[in-house]
Every structure is written in structure tokens, then in C-alpha cells.
Structure 1
Amino acid sequence: MSDTQTPPSTASGGHIEPRLIELEMSESYLTYALSVIHSRALPDVRDGLKPSQRRILVAMNDLRLRPNAKYRKCANIAGTTSGEYHPHGESVIYPTLVRMAQKFSLRYPLIDGQGNFGSIDGDPPAAMRYTEARMAGPSVEMLTDLDKETVDYQPNYDERLLEPTVLPGRFPNLLCNGSDGIAVGMATSLPPHNLREVSAAIRAVLDDENISIRDLIEHVPGPDFPTGGMIMGRSGIYQAYTTGRGRAIVRARHHVEEGRGKKEQLVFTEIPYQVRKVAIIEKIVEIVKDGRVTGISDVRDESDRDGLRLIVELKKNEDPEVILKQLFQFTPLQSTCSIINLALVDGQPRTLTLRGLIDEFVRHRKVVIRRRTMFLLRKAEERKHIVEGLRIAVDNIDEVIRIIRASADTDEAKRELMSAFTLSLAQAQAIVDMRLGRLTGLEREKLEDEFQKLVAEIADLSDILQRDERVVAIIRDDLDDVEARHGDDRRTEISDIEVDGSFNIEELITEEMMVVTFSRGGYLKRTGLDTYRAQGRGGRGVKGSESKEGDAINRLFLAGTHDYVLFFSNHGKVYWLKVYQIPEGGRTSKGRAIANLIELAPGEEIQSLLRVRNFDEEGFVFFATKAGTVKKTLLEAYSRPKKTGIRAISLEEGDEVVGAALARPGDTILLASAGGRAIHFDEQAARPMGRVSRGVRGMRVNAGDRVVSLIVVPSDVDKDSIGVVTACTNGFGKRTLVSEYPIKGRGGQGVINIKVTERNGPVISFSLTHEGDELMYISSGGMIVRSRVADMRSMGRNTQGVRLVSLKDGDEVVAMQTITAEDLELESRNQSEEDEVGEAGAEVGDGEVVAEGSIDVDDEAQLDDGEDSDDDSGDEEDNS
């Protein structure tokens, strides 16, 4: 618009002012934002109330609804609040009133409700015409001394009345009940606390102005929710108390009981703050239906008026700890309580520490007490002034009577009295209004006593105003009184166990033993150990894998679901997986291709697998290659592999890894070759090397021969009682004591282990066994056999051995694995029924169990065609 133009006029005589929309929007939005912040969403730091809450209490105070009064209809209370103070309608006021009465919403309810005020299930309250209410004890403390000019007043919405801008707040409401609200661009979430702990912290601040927040936390360890529960860890609380922002992980309180049919059940008796019980039940049903949690058979709500009781019934043999962690991850049984200590301080939103919140409460109480003292002092001085005039009148009663009788009216009498005795108008008025009964001797004494009491009261009140320690003492006395009236015990437990809100997947996986199988074609799976039942020696076993045509299982071992598996490839690299990351398959499934689990280079194949429980264990990884090279490297060197693998050992061209095992100082090493030779030497014969070293010669092998197995013999075993089992491809083998293998230097050809004949075939495995162990054999056709080591008697090194497995035509043994007595004990706990041992069978077929096989006489014939040979000449190879 040009300077010469005039604003267009409206028909009513007004005018329109053109403005930029950006400017109008910013100013209007700012006005709206400030209105929300000050008049709706954020609490005042002094009394911890929002305007709507404060107006409800003021209206109830006007209606004299004290705790000893009769209950009044909530419709009346909401109507009074709306009509006198809060112009937003009764339907907005009533929900605020309801929350102030809910014991599961406020730690110390401010309203005592009668009727249906909702439930922790999320049920809505009854209509306000059906419910009644009155003030609770803490509200009375909040309103104490409101009539003594302790706070400022402001006009109400229509300027008919005055309303307090804040309540005197003898009760530390903001700290004890907390507050939450969402304003424009900011939010507050102050958690509730225990009154006794808050009072102790305030007293500590009053005693020591320099007290640290760390010392305050000794008095206030953390929030105390009305619904109880457990806060996991203290770090989030400490952060919130020191910075004003933090979070607390809250879990439901629970215990385990034995339910129907001896099934275990989880019982939840307290749930996280502001979580609806029905929401928890709905979420549990959802995760069971979609298969995220499979161990739950039923969920029931057995809550009553005596307390909350939520039952989660588990399936038989399920681990309660695993199910519990799954529930904490997938349901609101664990929730995060955000702590944002934002409140209005002198009309401005500020984020406060724990010390800041306490300081603001103390500052407010000091102001209230001083203003109350000034009010009482003024009233006492005014009364003292009147009593002084009455004393003068009593002392000069005859003259006073004469002046009053001689006066034409009251005004003349007051003027004459003021002139005659130098009185003020108030004193003259009191004398004129005095009754003749005050002239008796008793009344004169009372007047004198009142005057002396007023003098003492004025001196005491003046002393309070002059000495800050007197004010502090009054605050402390008020706290003691409030705590004695309303204090109670802590409901929320604080655990020292830190939880970050996220879950390690291992916590959700049951610890159990698994059979890990790996085929020559690169297929990997894990299967529960209880799938396989023990048989007698010589049995054919059950179908253990549905092998791909032309494929065969060549590795199997026992491992816990939380164990690590190191995969050593033919290229000398190592890859890393957890057992629970290996796909689980049925007894006859072929598993998952290893290429889908780890990133192998073109032409790379996995040749050896190693189970590791913890990389912090003291010890080494001991390698053996088919060319007879060995290497010893610290286990910790393999704890941080990359997704694409890391180099485990440097190999000569054409060589590959055939075994890897954990070794500790003092252990001994046994190597066995396919040609029936074995060598035994001390682990110290191979010095520790770096991860990429080539190693040294461990066994000299003849042309056409190769090393097939590596055994680490622990130093603490009795070599005269522990044995090694040698298995050959045609199902024959034997058990020989370790003491039969003399300890020689590394690098030699070793001694005879077993005669490799056409009947036996070459050696395929060499395994350390105890009397209580069991052995598992697997054939190229996918057949698995389990048998007891105790069924095999010990034989010398020069025997041919006995039949271990009855094979079908064309089938051969490709792997053997020891099941330790410890693993067997775990298996017995995991199985739902006892194993059937030595079960007799009829015809042999897939999935059938057969009787123990017979042994031919010549199976145990002794060899006599050669002495043991030993060549200890073994030089170290070059290391890179």
C-alpha cells in the first residue's frame, strides 16, 4: 500500500490493516505457545500444580470440603470450578479431578474419591453425577495459611473474584507426586518420590547448603511409583538428578510358582507406572499368536481388591528366566520412564536438578513463612494498639464515661476521646464499642494478660523476620509434621542391576546342548541333543540327516546355544558364529548352506570347526594341518573376527587345516594319520606364535599319508585311565589308553596306532574319551549311531580293533564325536522322557533302532608284523 492510500474502511466504521502472514502467524503462535506453557501444560515449581489442578482445590476449599466433611457430588465440584475459576467446561475439569483421586496415578492422592474413579485396567470412571469427592490430607497441607496473605492473587477469568497464583504448599507436592505434560516445543515428566525420603533430603539441604547431589541421593535413591515395580539400575536416576534429564527402566515385580500339572508359572504382582494391565495382557496374547514367544500356555488375570495378580503359565520344561526376559522385551512388563524435570520458575520454564527442585521448594516456603509472619505481626500490632487504648480507657473510666455522656453523638465522642487521651481513631472506636462488662476486675486482668502476650508475640514474630535460622526451623518443623501425618514406606525397589532398555538376544535363548552338524557340501544345522538315543555298540542308529544327493556329513560336535563356533577354512581363515545363530533343523533336515551364514571367498571351504565358551579363557588354539604342521596361538587373537573372516594360519601351497583345539600349559598333543600312525608330544614343544604364522613341523608323514586328527590331552587327567578311540572308514576301531602312546619330541613319524588293512580302511578320526562318555558316529549316508565308551574294553596299540558301526553296503564312517558325561547330564535334564538304552529292534530301516552287533573272533587279533618306529627329527618350518 502506498503512503498516499488510506486503509480501507469496513461498513461498521472499523478498518482492516494489511499484515504479512509470516509476521501474523509467528506472533499469534507465540501467544498461543506462551498460553499453553503458563496456563495449561507445565506445573509451577512452587506447588507442583497446573492451573486446572490448583483451581479445583481452591473451589473445593471454597466449598469447605475438608477431609472431615461429607462427600460432595463431583458434578457440583466441577461446576463450581468451571463457574468461578476455570472457564473450560466441566467435561475438561472432571478428568483432571479424577486423576487427582486415583491411587495408581498419584503417589499421594490430593482428592479423596467415593465411587468409580477408574481402574489400573484402563476402565473409565463413572459420570461425575455418580461420583463424590472431598479433599485428601495432602491437599489441606497445600492450602494451609492461604488466608494469611502468603501468596499473590489475580483476578479470575471474568474479574469477579480473585484466585491465588500459587498455593502455600506446605506439602512438597512436585517432588512427591511428580507431574507430566506436553507444551509447545517442550514437555515435562517429573516422577513421584517417597515423602519420607524427600523430607530427609530437604532437611539435609537445610542443614548443609553445600551438600552435593551425590549425598542427596543417599536420602532420595530414586523415584517411588504408586504402582511399585522395580527400577533397574541407578545410572539413569543419577543422570536425571544431576542434569535434569534421564530415564529409568522399570520392570514388573514377579516371582515363580508351581501351577497346575506341576507347570511353572510367572506371577506378576506389581506393574510399571502408567501401564494399563489390560495392555499387558493384550500384548502377551499377541506375541504368543505371532510366534515370538512359544513357551507360554496360558495367561490369566487373578487380580482382586486385595491386589494385582497376573499369571503367565508356562509350558512344561520351559525355562522361566528365558520367558521372563522375552516378556520384558516384547511387552510393557518392562517400560522406560522418561525423567524431564521441567517446571515454571518465576514464570519461565526451566530444567532443574534434584538440588534445584529442593532449593525452589525451600525458597517458596521461606517466602510463605515470612509473608505469614508479616501478616501475623501486623495483626498482632494492630491488636496491641487497640488493647493499649482499652487500657487507657479502663484506667480513666470516669473521665471516659463523662465525655461519652456529654457528647451529642458517637462521632463527637470519638473526637473528644482522641483529643483528651491522644488516641487514634481505631482506639477511640474500640472504646466507644466497649461493653460495660469489660470494666470488671477480672476483665481488667484479662486485658492486661492479653497485652503482655501480644508484646511477647510481636517480639517473637519480629525475631523470625530478622533471623533466617528461625525460618529454617519452622520449615523443618512443618516437614516433620507433614511426614508424621502422611509419610509411608517405599513401594518401588531399586536394583543395582543395570539395564539399558535393549536386550541381548542371548538372554532370550535357552542355554541347552545342541548337536552341530556340518556336511561336506557346506550345509550347517543344529539339533537338540535329546533327538538321539543311546544304543549298544554295533547298532545302526537312526537317520540323522536328509543329505543332499552326493553330500555327506563330515563334522559334528556338541555345543551350548551360547557358545561360539570358530569356522576354519581350507584357506587358513577363521569365521565366527554363535551356536544360536546356526539354523535349527530337525533330525532329518539337511540344514542351511554355510555360504548363507558367513561370507566365503570363491573356492573357499570350511574344513574345521571349534567350539569356544569364552575368549577370556587362558589357553591357546592348537592347529594341525594334513601335512603335519602344527601351530599354537593365544585364543584371544581370534576373538574379533571380521564378517569376511580373518587369517588364522598361513599355509603352504596344497596344505589345509585338519584340526583345531584348545590347549593349556602342561597339556600334551596327539596327532593321528590316516595310515595308522600317531605321535605324542608336549604342547611346550611348539612355542606360541602370531595369528598369521605358518607353524612348525608336528609330525612327519610319508608320501600318500596325511594327518587326520588332533587331540589335546589335559595335564590333569590320569593317562592310565583315559583312552583314545580310533575309528576307521569301514566301521572298525578300538579304544587304547593314552599311556600306551609314549611322549616323544615333535616332528617324528610317531608310533603304530592301528593297523590299516582292507577290512578297517584308513583312519578317519581319533578322539579322547572317558569311561562315562558316549561316542557318536556318522556315516556318509547320514546315519548316526551313539554308543557307550564303557562298552568298549581297552586294547593295545597293535590291535586291529572291533566293529564299531554296522554299515550298509557302500556306506562309510566319516566322523566321530565324543559326548562327555557333563553333556549327558544336561541332556537328561532336557529330555521329557528317559532314554531307551539298548532297545532291541527287528528290521533295520531309516529312523529305526537295532540291537547291539556281534563281534567276530578275528576282530581282536594281535598284530605281530612290525615294531613301533619313532623319528624325532623335526626341524621348524619357516615362519611368516
Structure 2
Amino acid sequence: MAEVIQTLPLEDVIGDRFGRYSKYIIQERALPDVRDGLKPVQRRILYSMFSSGNTYDKNFRKSAKTVGDVIGHLHPHGDSSVYDAMVRLSQDWKLRHLLVEMHGNNGSIDNDPPAAMRYTEAKLSQLSEQLLRDLNKGTVDFVPNYDDTQMEPMVLPARLPNLLINGSTGISAGYATDIPPHNLAEVITATLKLIDNPDMTVKQLMKYIKGPDFPTGGIIQGIDGIQKAYETGKGKVIVRAKAETETLRNGRSQIVIAEIPYEVNKGSLVKKIDELRADKKVEGIVEVRDETDRSGLRVAIELKKDVNATSILNYLYKNTDLQVAYNFNMVAISEGRPKLMGIKQIIDCYLNHQIEVVSRRTRYDLKHAEERMHIVEGLMKALSILDEVIALIRESKNKRDAKENLVATYDFTDAQAEAIVMLQLYRLTNTDIVALQEEHDALANKIKDLQYILEDHNALLDVIKNELSEIKKQFKDARLSTIEAEIAEIKIDKEVLVPSEVVMVSVTREGYIKRTSLRSFNASGKEEIGLKVDDYVLKYMEVNTQDTALVFTNKGRYLSIPVHKLPDIKWKDLGQHISQLAVIDEDEVIVDYDVVSAFDDHEAIITATRNGMIKMTTLSNYKTARHCKPLVAMKLKDDDVVISAMRTQITETEQLVTLLTHKGMSLTYPIAELPTTGIRTGGVKAINLKAEDHVVMVDLVGRQDTILIATQRGALKRISFKVLQEAKRAQRGITLLKELKKQPHRIVAAVVCREADVHYQLVSDEAVHDGQINKIHLSEQYTNGSFVVDTATFGEIKDLFISK
């Protein structure tokens, strides 16, 4: 051979070769044909089994023999690819109606590999006979195989719409397909209706085809997604497992999964659920057991006592493959090219294929009936002159001479003469003449019917309808998947995610926050809390890990922090600064915090500012999904800052709020004076301030309470509720401190005291001179405990000073 070297640009060569390769794998490998719903390898497997007589009414045959036949004659690829395709045709969790029956281990829903092909046996299923029926009657075109040694069908006659019934999945170059399986009876019913009414809409078709019908059952949600997919070829639905709750003898309950979503690996699913239990991502699961046996799929999830099974199941739906999204992408090969098709287009393509198949079969049957009719007429003519024919044959030299004499003497055709000379002696009886006459009449009627089918299109459609109805009657079964119109919203209770545990949460003035177990708190003692120098505890509370902490800052913002997300730190350790949990300004400090179990409209937060603004907002407004991020709690003007945030019951309208200012003014009024506003508002005027005055304290006050006041001169004053006067909001108020000409007292700190024997703590700041007080803390606010430098009871109160 002469060597020919071509010089070509690399990009042209690669582009041309990849184009050829892409065309091949699109048309000849990964995508199914819209007419029979099969990929080439599947079609070759079925054809090879059919042509070798490996049918449903025969004995099983070794899979290795079938694989060898397919590779040797039709599909020159690896044996594993052929065997894998053959095994899939026999898996009842992959196909809605099996096309191959297999003896032996053919894999499992846990994705276990099947036994080697030398161990398994297979044959065609009864339904696959309907795909191959009439194959030998010229119903489809045949093409040469890969080595031109035999012919193979381009497509199967497919007497049922297999593409929709069994679905398909595949990936090729630039194309992919995902067609779900459907119920056979529903698909055939819709096809019959479409034959009668070709103008049916997709919505009308959906009266008969409710939606996909997966072999693994499950619940399909989202009828709008189904309709969109049926109209355009693309759509999305949610498929979730079917689950029931059972009660056990020990008082516990368990969730039992009986059906899982299509193409979900059960083994991986069980493993994932057990990992969630082991990692404590979900609380309440005791054990996960795979109890699947030959009677059916069963996964048991045993729960702890008094656990909400619905919440656990919702969490598993959201975080495991107990619920998955199924995306329709109905691409199939139509007229030699890939097309995205809706359900009506798929059925139309199938019907056009059936019209051609039945037409070709009818012509084939008509041709053979006419040929047989011709022979029968010749035999009848020969029997009518039997003696002459016998004499003529006896006088002939040989068979060929006898045939020529019959044609020349009695005007028989070659075919008739061949049939006469091959006639057996027993056929020369009177009874055979009657049989020939009966056969002649039957053939005449058959030819008439076949001609009518070919001449009348409606008669041809009736044939298709009758055959489809017979298949439906023989193979129909009930739906396995349930259709639900709407996609259910998944609501997960936080009790499922977070273990219920009572802990201590503390916050300091410097902004250090921590969560501490009761064990650490009780072991250390409340006075041994870890603090920085000059820092003090703002508040500590006994709360639940399922609660949410609301932390308010002086800049009118708040942080919503789930308690379980707070750092778990020992009581003696310092804690974590709030800036490590959320991004806040350098000069932003914590004013107060509270812990909420439920955000409802029965409670509210009252916030007040230094410049005399106040607002009340219901607790439900503070609920947010943006945890650990600063959010607006109160809109502030100019250089104003929040000095107080307190929680109250809205229904208790008799509660009183009291304000004290720097210059000694006091105003008290019911909370009914405060309008309920939104979270981003600036509030209303709380008190009418004098020039250069500002609010020092805002708090709720009861009729049995007293107020402890500290001044800049280090003086303490205790005021009874009787001194206060109820008034209206935004008034000037009454004077609590006598105005002195020299060094007048100014209030720097005040607190409402709700018990007579409560301890107090006085705190000074480095910026304040010795002997001055800028903060008062009372232990009553901290569950009858306090961390103090100096303490005293009210009975011992005098003009006390505390140095730095």
C-alpha cells in the first residue's frame, strides 16, 4: 500500500473526529428511539434472544450465551456493558414492566453488583414478546450488522408505547434524557383516546395519565410540574418516600419506610440516616434498621419516647434522599435526530410508527394470502381433472418435464404446477377437496379484510386500538406511586435539631457572652465567674438550649443568637466576645439581653433612648432567620443611644413604666400609653426633657417597689412608689432631687428594687473620679445571686462611696 500523509490543521481534525463521535453516541448509544423506547444495545439484546428462541415460553438460558451472541453478531463492545444493560432490563426497581426475566442474583436496590453472567440465566419476558411481535413480517427495516454478515432491525415493531411505560435515562454528547416510567394501563388508555380525538390537549390527556408511576412507588408531588413536563418535555416534581408511624411495646414509636424514591440507593440512604443519628445532627433517633427481606422493602427508624415523629420525618425529608427532586428531560431520537418532546408528541410518534408497522404487516399478510389463494385454486382445478393430471405426470420424464407439461397442457402457472407435482397421495381424497374449498373461502374473506384495512385508514386505526386494548387487558396493574397536587412545605421543629438541655447564659458589660452547663455552674459557684479586670456581669439566666437569645446594643440594633450556637465555656473561664459571633462597631456595647422560647404577639420589647424616645414592639417582629447578624431594633436620630430594653406582657396594660433623668426628673405612666409599632420605627416621645438633660433610667415599676438612686456625689437615695405620680406620656414629670445652689446632685444611676432585703452593687468607672458611682446592680435581677465588689442590704444603706 502506498503511504499517504495528509497535512491538516489540528483543530479541523479534532473537530471533525469529535463531530463524528458525537453523532454516533447520540444516535447509536445513549438515547432511546421514540418509537420503541429502546437504546441500540437494549434492542440488540432483545432481538438476539428472540432470534435464538430464548423466549418466555422456553427454558431459561445462561446469560453468558446471550451476551456472547450479542457481542459476536450485533454489538462489538465489552461484555460488561452488554451484561449490565441486560441486567437492568430484569431489575424490577428500575423498570416498571420487565423485558427480561432472570434467575439468580441480578443486583439489588442497594446497588449491589449482580452475579457474574456465567451464574445467571435469562429469557425474554412475556411483555417483551409484544415489542418483537410481527418482526418477521417485514414490519420494520433491517440493516447490515457491523461486519455485514447478517441483518438487524433498525427499530422493533413495539406493539405498546414502551418509551413512556418503562422510561429511559442516558447521557451523550450535549444531550441527556430523563423520561420517567408510567402506568401501562394509563398510557394505553391515553393513546386510545388520542386516536379517537387527535386534537386533545395535554390537560385532557392528563385525565388518563395522572403522572409518572415509579416501580419503587413513593409519593409524587407537584401536578403543575408534571403538566409543564408533559407540555414542553422539561419539568420538575418532588418524589418522597412513603412512611408510617408504628407504636412499639416499650412505649416508643418508630417510623417505617416502605417505599423510597426512584433510583435512590437504599443502602446509602440508611447509612446517611444513621450518620445523622450518630453525629447528633438530629435528636430523637435511637436506632436505624434495614429490615428489608423477600417480602418487601422496610426501613425502621426507632425513636425516643415523647419525640414528635412528624418533625423527625420532615427533617429526614429535607436532609436525606427520603425526598428528592425528579427533573423531566424527555429527549428521544425522532427521525434520526434527538428531540425534546412533550407527552403528546411522544404518543403521536408512536402512533405514526404503529400505522406504518400495521400497514406493512397487512401488506405482508395480504401478499402471502394471495399467494396461497393462487396455490389453492390450482390444487382445486387439478383435483377436478385428477385422472388427466395423473396420466400426464406418469407420461412425463421427470419433475421438470411434468411441470412444463402441466403449464403447457392445462394452463397452470409455475407455482401451481410446483404445488401439484409435490402433492402427496393422501391429499387426493374427497375430504381434501372440501378442506381446500373451506380454505379458499377463508382466504377470500381474509384478503377482503386485509384490503379493507389498507384502503380505509379508520379500519387500520381500529386494528391498532384492538391490539392495544388486548395488551392493556393482559398486562394492566394498579398504580404504585401516589400523586399529590401540591408540593408539601417541610416544617422542622428546632426540638428535632437541638437537644433540650438547661444551661446558664451570662453576658458582661464588656460584651463577653457564654453558655455554661449547670454542672460547671454548680461546681464553681456563682461568685467564681471568669471576668476581666473592671468588668462585671450584666445578667445571667437559666435557659434552655432550644431558646433564642436577643442581645440589644446601644446603637439601636439587636442580635438573634440561638442558645445552642453560643460557645460552651466553663463558668470560671472568660467567655467569647460578642464581636466574634457578629460584626459590630468598636464603640458598640451591650445594653441588655433576654432569652425567648416562643416569638408571639402576647409579649413585647420596650426600648428607650438617652434623648427621651421610647417604643414598644411585639416579640414576633424580632423573629428572624438571620442569626448572629446585627438587625435594626430601633431607629435612632443624631447622637442618640439606647439605654434600656425590657420585655413585658402586652395584656398587662396596668403595668407602669417609669423614667428618671439626669437632673432628677421622674415621669411614670401605664404602658397602655405606648403604641405598638414596627421594628424599624423610631418610637414616640417618652418624656419632655429640660435643656441639657437626658434619661438615665427606664424600667417597669410595681406598686410595692422602690427605686434606688445614686448621684455623682456618691449619694444614695431610696424612693418609695408613693412618691411617684401617675401621669401621661411625654410630660415633664416631677422633681425627685432638691436643686442645690452649689454642687447640685445629678442622677448617674438608678434601679427599681423589687424586694426589701435585696443586695446591691455599686460600680464606678475609670473615667469617673474616686467616690463617684455610675452604675447600680441589684442581685434580684440575677436569680437571687450577684457578683459584687461591695454589698450591703437596704437596712444598712448610708451615703456610700466606692473607689475604682
TM-score range, shorter chain: 0.7 to 0.9
139, 145, 157: which one aligns with 2:134: 145
Displacement of 1:130: 1.8
1:577 has 2:560 as partner: yes
Distance of 2:107 and 2:75 partners within structure 1: 24
1:180 has 2:166 as partner: no
1:599 has 2:599 as partner: no
1:161 has 2:150 as partner: yes
Q: In the superposition, relative to structure 1, how do residues 259 and 548 fare at CA in structure 2: closer, same or farther (>3 Å)?
A: farther
The letter for the 2-side match of 1:607 is: V
Aligned to 1:98: 87
Distance of 2:45 and 2:603 partners within structure 1: 72
The letter for the 2-side match of 1:649 is: K
Displacement of 1:153: 0.9
3-state SS in 1 of match to 2:136:
coil
1:813 has 2:796 as partner: no
Q: How many residues align?
A: 749
Residues 485-528 of structure 1: CA deviation (Å, up to 9, x unaligned): 3222222334455379x998969645979887644322445689
Displacement of 1:78: 1.9
3-state SS in 1 of match to 2:89:
helix
Distance of 1:809 and 1:559 partners within structure 2: 27
The letter for the 2-side match of 1:449 is: E
1:110 has 2:96 as partner: no
1:203 has 2:192 as partner: yes
3-state SS in 2 of match to 1:101:
coil
706, 709, 715: which one aligns with 2:699: 709
The letter for the 2-side match of 1:601 is: D
Distance of 1:386 and 1:432 partners within structure 2: 12
Q: In the superposition, relative to structure 1, how do residues 381 and 417 fare at CA in structure 2: closer, same or farther (>3 Å)?
A: same
1:461 has 2:450 as partner: yes
3-state SS in 2 of match to 1:455:
helix
Alignment check: 8 A CA contact 1:727 1:816 kept: no
The letter for the 2-side match of 1:78 is: V
Relative contact order: is structure 1 or structure 2 higher (C-alpha 8 Å, sep ≥ 6)?
1
Displacement of 1:360: 2.0
What runs of 5+ residues in structure 1 fail to find an aligned partner? 1-11, 534-540, 712-722, 731-735, 754-760, 767-799, 819-837, 839-843, 847-854, 860-880
Displacement of 1:638: 7.9
Write out aligned runs for 1:527-538 (5 A): none
Alignment check: 8 A CA contact 1:513 1:558 kept: no
Write out aligned runs for 1:417-428 (5 A): 417-418=406-407, 422-428=411-417
Write out aligned runs for 1:692-707 (5 A): 693=682, 695-697=684-686, 706-707=696-697
Write out aligned runs for 1:397-436 (5 A): 397=386, 400=389, 403-404=392-393, 407=396, 409-418=398-407, 422-435=411-424
Greater Cα shift, 343-352 or 685-694:
685-694
Displacement of 1:41: 1.9
Displacement of 1:131: 1.6
Aligned to 1:863: none
Write out aligned runs for 1:708-857 (5 A): 708-709=698-699, 726=705, 745-748=728-731, 764=751, 802-803=756-757, 812-813=777-778, 816=781
Residues 847-869 of structure 1: CA deviation (Å, up to 9, x unaligned): xxxxxxxx99x99xxxxxxxxxx
The letter for the 2-side match of 1:599 is: V
Q: In the superposition, relative to structure 1, how do residues 200 and 683 fare at CA in structure 2: closer, same or farther (>3 Å)?
A: farther
The letter for the 1-side match of 2:111 is: G
Q: In the superposition, relative to structure 1, how do residues 576 and 456 fare at CA in structure 2: closer, same or farther (>3 Å)?
A: farther
Residues 707-748 of structure 1: CA deviation (Å, up to 9, x unaligned): 42259xxxxxxxxxxx88858679xxxxx99xxx99864334
Q: In the superposition, relative to structure 1, how do residues 549 and 207 fare at CA in structure 2: closer, same or farther (>3 Å)?
A: farther
3-state SS in 2 of match to 1:67:
coil
Distance of 1:14 and 1:505 partners within structure 2: 76
Aligned to 1:54: 43
Alignment check: 8 A CA contact 2:222 2:238 kept: yes
Displacement of 1:208: 2.6
Residues 462-500 of structure 1: CA deviation (Å, up to 9, x unaligned): 222233333333333333322333222222334455379
Aligned to 1:83: 72
Q: In the superposition, relative to structure 1, how do residues 547 and 365 fare at CA in structure 2: closer, same or farther (>3 Å)?
A: farther
Displacement of 1:150: 1.0
Distance of 2:191 and 2:509 partners within structure 1: 72
Aligned to 1:831: none
Alpha carbon RMSD of aligned pairs, Å? Answer: 4.9
Displacement of 1:60: 1.5
1:45 has 2:34 as partner: yes
TM-score normalised per structure 1: 0.72
Residues 521-580 of structure 1: CA deviation (Å, up to 9, x unaligned): 2244568999999xxxxxxx9689755554444457899988887655423x33453636
Distance of 2:519 and 2:125 partners within structure 1: 62
Distance of 2:172 and 2:497 partners within structure 1: 43
Aligned to 1:827: none
The letter for the 1-side match of 2:587 is: G
1:381 has 2:370 as partner: yes
Aligned to 1:658: 644
The letter for the 2-side match of 1:31 is: R
Displacement of 1:55: 1.7
241, 244, 260: which one aligns with 1:252: 241
64, 71, 77: which one aligns with 2:53: 64
Distance of 1:85 and 1:391 partners within structure 2: 46
3-state SS in 2 of match to 1:228:
coil
Distance of 1:488 and 1:807 partners within structure 2: 81
Displacement of 1:148: 1.3
Aligned to 2:14: 25
Alignment check: 8 A CA contact 2:284 2:312 kept: yes
Distance of 1:68 and 1:429 partners within structure 2: 36
1:349 has 2:338 as partner: yes
3-state SS in 2 of match to 1:163:
strand
Distance of 1:216 and 1:544 partners within structure 2: 76
The letter for the 1-side match of 2:8 is: R
Distance of 1:617 and 1:845 partners within structure 2: 32
Alignment check: 8 A CA contact 1:628 1:706 kept: no
TM-score normalised per structure 2: 0.78
Q: In the superposition, relative to structure 1, how do residues 614 and 388 fare at CA in structure 2: closer, same or farther (>3 Å)?
A: farther
Displacement of 1:352: 1.9
State, as a whole percentage, how many aligned pairs show the same letter.
34
Distance of 1:462 and 1:543 partners within structure 2: 106
Residues 81-109 of structure 1: CA deviation (Å, up to 9, x unaligned): 22332233544422222222222222222
Greater Cα shift, 269-278 or 376-385:
269-278
Displacement of 1:700: 7.4
Write out aligned runs for 1:513-528 (5 A): 518-524=507-513
Greater Cα shift, 37-46 or 506-515:
506-515
Displacement of 1:230: 3.3
The letter for the 2-side match of 1:630 is: I
Greater Cα shift, 138-147 or 486-495:
486-495
Q: In the superposition, relative to structure 1, how do residues 416 and 613 fare at CA in structure 2: closer, same or farther (>3 Å)?
A: farther
The letter for the 1-side match of 2:778 is: V
1:446 has 2:435 as partner: yes
Residues 231-274 of structure 1: CA deviation (Å, up to 9, x unaligned): 34445444433332344443333334455865544433333333
The letter for the 2-side match of 1:671 is: V
3-state SS in 2 of match to 1:649:
coil
3-state SS in 1 of match to 2:212:
coil
Residues 654-712 of structure 1: CA deviation (Å, up to 9, x unaligned): 6635246689899677312469977344747759699555623457799797442259x
3-state SS in 1 of match to 2:375:
helix
Displacement of 1:28: 2.3
3-state SS in 2 of match to 1:137:
coil
Greater Cα shift, 20-29 or 635-644:
635-644
Distance of 1:522 and 1:245 partners within structure 2: 54
The letter for the 1-side match of 2:101 is: D
